[in-house]
Amino acid sequence: MDLSQINPVLLVASLMVAATPLLLAAIGELVVEKAGVLNLGVEGMMIVGAITGFAISVETGSPWLGFLASAIGGALLSLLFVLLTQVALANQVASGLALTLFGLGLSALLGQGYVGIKPPGMAELDIPVLSDLPVVGPILFGHDPILYLGIALTAAVWAVLKYTRVGLILRAVGENHDAAHALGYKVVRIRILAILFGGACAGLGGAYISLIRVPQWTEGMTAGVGWIALALVVFASWKPWRVLLGAYLFGGVTVVQLNLQAAGVAIPVEYLAMSPYIITILMLVILSADKSRAPASLGRIFHASH
Amino acid sequence: MTTPLLSLQGLTKAYPGVVANDNVSFDIGEGEVHALLGENGAGKSTLVKMIYGLVKPDSGRMLLRGQPFAPPEPRAARADGIAMVFQHFSLFDALNVAENIALGMEDPPPMGSLASRIREVSETYGLPLDPYRTVGDLSAGERQRVEIIRCLLQDPKLLIMDEPTSVLTPQEVEILFETLKKLRSEGTSILYISHKLEEIRTLCDHATILRLGKNVGECVPAETSARDMAELMVGSALQTPERASRAFGEVALDIIGLSVPSPTEFGTSLRNVHLTVRKGEVLGIGGVAGNGQDELLGVLSGEILTEADAVKMAGQPVGRLGPTARRRLGLLSAPEERLGHAAAPDMSLTENALLTGSVRENLENRGFLKWAEARSFAERIIEAFDVRTPGPENAARSLSGGNLQKFVIGREVLQNPEVLVVNQPTWGVDAAAAAAIRQAILDLASKGAAVVCISQDLDELMEISDSFAALNEGRLSTPRPTAGLTVEEIGLMLGGAHGMEVAHV
C-alpha cells in the first residue's frame, strides 16, 4: 500500500471531472421537478446524449458539434416524455421508466458501429500564467469548457429561480398548477419547456462521459449516474447549490476510492465501489433535515378543465 | 340612464349533458355592489369564469362601458380592470405573500418596492399583512387578504368575489364589509357571489338570482326578505326545519379534561376539553376550520385513542376503543372530508354502505359479506335522503359533493345511533338538501339520540342546536344554551377577529 502516490491536486482536479456528468443531469432534472414534473427517464436521456454526442463528434471531428448534438438528442428523447405525459396525460412514473428502457436500447442500436473508436479530444482551458500557477492552476484553470458550463448552469438556474419572474412562474406552476392556470399561466407550455431543458442537460451530461471522462463508447456506459442524479435532486432539497455540493462529493468519493484501489488498500473492492453512493446519500440525508419540501404538484397530472 | 360598467347580454354556455348558463343577461353599474345568488350548480361560477376570461361563452356578448368585451384569457380581463378573488384560494403555499401577489400582476415592480406597496395598501384598507411571510403559514382570513390585496394593487374597476365569507368569523366578515364599502365609495364595482342571504341584504345594492343556469329574477336585497330570495333561488317554498320541544335524558357522552396532541404536524392539539351531551340534545360546536375540529372528531369517533376514562359513553369508558367497537356501542360519526375520509372514492355506494354499516346493520356473517342486504341498505339511504344517483352500484366519486354528503349523513342516521357526531354536515349542499339533512338530525335527537354537530356555519348551528360551544385553538368554551345568544356573543366566544381591525379611512 502506498498512499504517497496519490497527488491531492490531481485528485481535486479529477473529482471535478468525475462530478460534471452528474451535476449536468441533476441540474436539468431540478428544473423539471421545480415545474412539477417527475421525469424518471434521466438515465435514458443521458445514454442517448452520450451516443449522439459521440457519433457526431467522431463523424464531424468536432467535439463542440458533438456536445450540441447530445443536447439535441437528449431533448428529442424527452419530447417523447412530453407527448406521453403532457399531451396524452399518461402516468409520469411509468412513462419515465419506459423512457429509460427505451433510451438504453436505442443507444445500444445507434452505437453498434462506434465501439472501440477514440473520439476527437476537446482542448483544455489554457490561460497563460493562471493555468501555470501551482495548485490553483490545475484545479481552477485547467479544465475543458463543458466543466465550466456545468458550474455556470448551476449559478444561472439558481439566479433565475430566485430572482426572475420566469423563475417565479416556473415555481408557481410546480407548486399549484390549478392556481397557476386560474391566473392565466400556460402550465403545459411551461412544463414542456422545462422537460426539454432537462433532456438537453441530461444529454450533455451523457456526452461528457463518452467524450471527456472515459472517453470512448461502450454500451450502458452511464452506469446509473442518471439514477443518482434523480436521488441527488431530492436529497439536495431542490436547491441548486446543494446539487453542486452533492455532485462534487459524489465525484470526490469516486475518485478517492479509485485511487485507494490503485494504491492497494486492504478493503475489498466492492466496498470501495459502493462507497460513493452511500456517502453521498448519507451526507444529503443529513443536509435535507431542514423543512424544505418537494414542489406540491410534483408528479401530478394536470387537466386544464378544472 | 348612464352606461353600465359591465353589461351581459344573452350569455349561454353548455357543457356535455348540462347547460351551465342559459341566455343570462344583467347589468352591473359603476360603483355598485351587485349580488349573484344561486344554489350550488346554478351556474354562478361558470358565469364569472366567462367574465374573467377562463371560459368562452357559446353565444351572447358582454359590453364593458359600452365597448364589446370578450377576454380570451384572464390576463386580458385583468388588463381591462377585472379582478377576481377565488372561492378556493388560488394561492401558492410555498411562496411568500409578495411572490404570490407578483404572480397575479401583469408588470410587478421589483420585490422591494412591491413589498412596500403591499404594506401601504394593506394599511389603507385595514388588512394587515406581512409581505415576507410564507403563505402556507397563514390563517384562512389572512390568505383571503392576500387575494384581496393582489386584486386591489391592480386598481380594479370590477372586483369579483366568489363566496368570500365562508371561512371567516363574524368579526372578520364585518371588517371585510368595511373594506368593500370603502371600495364602493371610491367607485369600484363589486360582483358578490354568495348564498348567505343576510350578508347580501346588508351589503349589496342589487341582486340577480340564477336557478339552473337561468336568470330567474332581480331584486333590491334591502327591500326583499331573505325568505323571498331563498324561494326564488330554490324555486319552491322553503321548509324550515322544525324542532319538537323535548326533554333531555341522561348524559350520553362525556369528556372530562381531555388534552390530546394532534396526530398531524400542522394540526391543532386539543387542550383541556370538557364536553357533556345528554340524550335528545344537539350540541353545536362552532369555530373556524383548523382550530381542532378534526382532532375532536377523531377523539369522539375512535380514530384517536385516549385514556379510557377521558371519553365516556353513558358512564362507560370508551377512550381505548377503536371506531368499530364504538360503532357497536352506538357511537357513530361522519367526518367532514367526504372523499377519502367519510367515503372511499372509487368504491361503489353499496361497498361504502358496508364499510360503516356492517356492524350495526348486521351485513357480515363470519367474515363473509351479505351483498344483498348491503345493497338494500344502500338503496334505503338513497331513497330516504333523496340521493341523486342512477343506483347503488355507482362509485362514490361519481356523485356531486352535495349528493355524496346526503349519502354519508344518511348512512349514519339510518343506523339509529345512540350518539351521532357530524362535522360540517351540510358543507357544499344546497339549501333544500341542507334543510333535509338538518331535519333528519333534529328527528334523530327527538327520538332520544345525542348529537354533536361541528360546523363552521353559525346559522346552521343556531337553527338546530340546543346548546352552543366554540372551539378556538384547541380549547372548547363552556357550552351555553342557544336560545338568546346574539351574534356578538358568539363572535366573542369564537375568539375575536384574529387581529383584524376596521378600515381607518
Interfacial A residues in 178-197 facing B (CB < 8 Å): 178-180, 182-185
Structural domain of A105: 3-120+140-287
Strand partners of residue B64:
B6, B67
Alpha-carbon gap, residue A232 to B283, rounded angstroms? 53
Alpha-carbon gap, residue B195 to B192, rounded angstroms? 10
Question: Helix axis angle, A8-34 relative to A145-163, nearest 10°?
Answer: 40
Range scoring the smallest mean pLDDT among A160-164, B168-172, B250-254, B442-446: B168-172
Which residue of chain B is at minimal alpha-carbon distance from A291? B94
Alpha-carbon gap, residue A293 to A271, rounded angstroms? 32
What mean pLDDT, rounded, does chain A reach?
89
Contact B94 A295 (CB under 8 A): yes
Number of domains in chain B: 2
User: Does residue B333 share a domain with residue B208?
Assistant: no
At CB < 8 Å, which residues of chain B contact A?
A: 53-54, 73-75, 78, 86, 89-95, 99, 102-104, 108
Q: By C-alpha distance, which of B181, B183, B176, B268 is closest to B500?
A: B176
∠ CA B191-B194-B197, nearest 5°, is 115
Nearest Cα of chain B lies from the Cα of A297 at a distance, in angstroms, of 10
Q: ipTM higher than 0.85?
A: no
Alpha-carbon gap, residue B385 to B435, rounded angstroms? 11
Chain B residues with CB-CB distance to A303 below 8 A: none
Contact B73 A184 (CB under 8 A): yes
- Cβ burial of B132 (10 Å; 0-12, 13-18, 19+) is exposed
More confident residue, A157 or B218: A157
Structural domain ending residue among the three candidates B234, B263, B281 = B234
**Which among B103, B114, B134, B160 is the top mutation candidate for probing chain A, defined by the most A β-carbons within 10 Å of its own β-carbon?**
B103
Chain B residues with CB-CB distance to A297 below 8 A: none
Residue A77 maps to a domain: yes
More confident residue, B433 or B27: B27
In sequence order, which ranges of B169-287 are alpha helices (DSSP H)? 170-185, 197-203, 226-234
- The pLDDT of A15-38, averaged and rounded, is 95
Contact B90 A295 (CB under 8 A): no
pLDDT over 90 for what percent of chain A? 57
Nearest Cα of chain B lies from the Cα of A40 at a distance, in angstroms, of 24
CA distance between the termini of chain A: 66
- Cβ burial of B377 (10 Å; 0-12, 13-18, 19+) is buried
Chain B CB within 8 Å of residue A169 CB:
yes
User: Does residue B262 share a domain with residue B132?
Assistant: no
CATH number of the domain residue A217 falls in = 1.10.3470
∠ CA B38-B43-B45, nearest 5°, is 95
Q: Is it the case that residue A303 has pLDDT exceeding 80?
A: no
Contact B74 A296 (CB under 8 A): no
User: Does residue B271 share a domain with residue B191?
Assistant: no
Contacts of B383 (CB under 8 A, 6+ apart): none
pLDDT digits (tens, 9 = 90+) for B485-497: 877 777 777 764 4
pLDDT over 70 for what percent of chain B? 93
CATH number of the domain residue B337 falls in = 3.40.50.300
User: Does residue B154 share a domain with residue B55?
Assistant: yes
Nearest Cα of chain A lies from the Cα of B13 at a distance, in angstroms, of 14
Which residue of chain B is at minimal alpha-carbon distance from A186? B73
Structural domain ending residue among the three candidates B172, B199, B234 = B234
User: Quick one: cell of B55?
Assistant: 371560459
DSSP 8-state code for residue B349: H
According to the model, what pLDDT value does residue B502 have? 40
User: Does residue B194 share a domain with residue B91?
Assistant: yes
Alpha-carbon gap, residue B444 to B456, rounded angstroms? 21
According to the model, what pLDDT value does residue B497 have? 40
**Which among A183, A187, A188, A305 is the top mutation candidate for probing chain B, defined by the most B β-carbons within 10 Å of its own β-carbon?**
A183
Range scoring the smallest mean pLDDT among A290-299, B3-12, B436-445, B457-466: A290-299
Alpha-carbon gap, residue B106 to B103, rounded angstroms? 8
Query: Do B273 and B258 touch, CB atoms closer than 8 A?
Result: yes
User: Does residue B261 share a domain with residue B171?
Assistant: no
How many C-alpha atoms does B398 have within 13 Å on its Cβ side? 12
Residue A269 maps to a domain: yes
B312-345 exposure pattern, b = at least 16 Cβ within 10 A, e = fewer: bbbeeebbebebeebbebbbbbbbbebeeebbee
The bridge status of strand B82-85 relative to strand B158-162 is: parallel
Alpha-carbon gap, residue A128 to A148, rounded angstroms? 18
How many C-alpha atoms does B369 have within 13 Å on its Cβ side? 14
pLDDT digits (tens, 9 = 90+) for B298-325: 999 988 888 888 899 888 899 899 999 9
User: Quick one: cell of B243?
Assistant: 324542532
Q: Is it the case that residue A69 has pLDDT exceeding 80?
A: yes
Structural domain of B153: 6-234
Residue A133 maps to a domain: no
Q: By C-alpha distance, which of A49, A46, A65 is closest to A57?
A: A65
User: Does residue B279 share a domain with residue B151?
Assistant: no
Which residue of chain A is at minimal alpha-carbon distance from B109? A165
Residue B404 maps to a domain: yes
Residue B501 maps to a domain: no
pLDDT digits (tens, 9 = 90+) for B230-245: 778 777 665 666 666 6
∠ CA B430-B418-B276, nearest 5°, is 90
Alpha-carbon gap, residue B413 to B419, rounded angstroms? 10
The bridge status of strand B368-369 relative to strand B364-365 is: antiparallel
Alpha-carbon gap, residue B330 to B340, rounded angstroms? 23
Q: By C-alpha distance, which of B25, B181, B158 is closest to B79?
A: B158
According to the model, what pLDDT value does residue A98 have? 96
Alpha-carbon gap, residue B273 to A80, rounded angstroms? 57
∠ CA B127-B271-B318, nearest 5°, is 135
Nearest Cα of chain A lies from the Cα of B347 at a distance, in angstroms, of 22
Range scoring the smallest mean pLDDT among A43-52, B58-67, B142-151, B443-452: B142-151
Contact B91 A184 (CB under 8 A): no
Chain B CB within 8 Å of residue A175 CB:
yes
The alpha carbon torsion through A96, A99, A101, A103 (nearest 10 deg) reads -140
More confident residue, B345 or A128: B345
Phi, psi torsion values for A32, nearest 5 degrees: -60, -45
pLDDT over 90 for what percent of chain B? 14
- The pLDDT of B354-382, averaged and rounded, is 90
Residue B499 maps to a domain: no
Q: By C-alpha distance, which of B376, B431, B375, B386 is closest to B409?
A: B386
Number of domains in chain A: 1
- The pLDDT of B161-178, averaged and rounded, is 78
What mean pLDDT, rounded, does chain B reach?
84
Q: Is it the case that residue A204 has pLDDT exceeding 80?
A: yes
How many C-alpha atoms does B416 have within 13 Å on its Cβ side? 6
Q: Is it the case that residue B284 has pLDDT exceeding 50?
A: yes
CA–CA distances in Å: residue A198 to residues A119, A232, A302 = 25, 14, 19
According to the model, what pLDDT value does residue A305 have? 56
Q: Chain-centre distance of CA B122, in angstroms? A: 26
Chain B residues with CB-CB distance to A184 below 8 A: 53, 73-75, 78
Query: Do B464 and B434 touch, CB atoms closer than 8 A?
Result: no
Range scoring the smallest mean pLDDT among A5-9, B49-53, B362-366: A5-9
Q: Which amino acid is at B45?
A: S
- The pLDDT of B131-159, averaged and rounded, is 84
Residue A294 maps to a domain: no
According to the model, what pLDDT value does residue B499 have? 36
Chain B residues with CB-CB distance to A295 below 8 A: 94
Contacts of A33 (CB under 8 A, 6+ apart): A39, A174, A233, A238, A294, A295, A298
**3-state SS, one letter per residue, for B374-396:** HHHHHHHHHHHCCCCCCCCCCEH
Structural domain ending residue among the three candidates B234, B266, B296 = B234
The alpha carbon torsion through B476, B479, B484, B490 (nearest 10 deg) reads 0
Contact B95 A296 (CB under 8 A): no
Residue B217: in which H helix or E strand, if any?
strand B214-219
- The pLDDT of B29-34, averaged and rounded, is 90
List, as one string, the DSSP characters of B41-83. Answer: TSSHHHHHHHHTTSS--SEEEEEETTEEE--SSHHHHHHTTEE
Alpha-carbon gap, residue A146 to A64, rounded angstroms? 9
According to the model, what pLDDT value does residue B167 have? 67
Q: By C-alpha distance, which of B332, B343, B307, B334 is closest to B437?
A: B334
* CA-based R_g, chain A, Å: 20
Q: Is it the case that residue B410 has pLDDT exceeding 50?
A: yes
Q: By C-alpha distance, which of B447, B445, B435, B486 is closest to B465?
A: B445
pLDDT digits (tens, 9 = 90+) for B193-224: 877 777 888 888 999 988 888 888 888 888 88
More confident residue, A10 or B377: B377
Residue B500 maps to a domain: no
What confidence tier does A301 reach under pLDDT thresholds 50, 70, 90?
Answer: confident
Query: Do B269 and B295 touch, CB atoms closer than 8 A?
Result: yes
Residue A149 maps to a domain: yes
- The pLDDT of B422-446, averaged and rounded, is 84
DSSP 8-state code for residue B397: G
Closest CB from B92, B99, B108 relative to A176? B92
- The pLDDT of B340-347, averaged and rounded, is 86
pLDDT digits (tens, 9 = 90+) for B77-103: 888 889 888 766 678 888 889 999 888
Residue B205 maps to a domain: yes
More confident residue, A262 or B277: B277
User: Does residue B292 share a domain with residue B263?
Assistant: yes
pTM for this predicted structure: 0.71
Which residue of chain B is at minimal alpha-carbon distance from A292? B94
The alpha carbon torsion through A266, A269, A270, A273 (nearest 10 deg) reads 120
Q: How many CB atoms lie within 10 A of CB A40?
A: 21
Query: Do B324 and B363 touch, CB atoms closer than 8 A?
Result: no
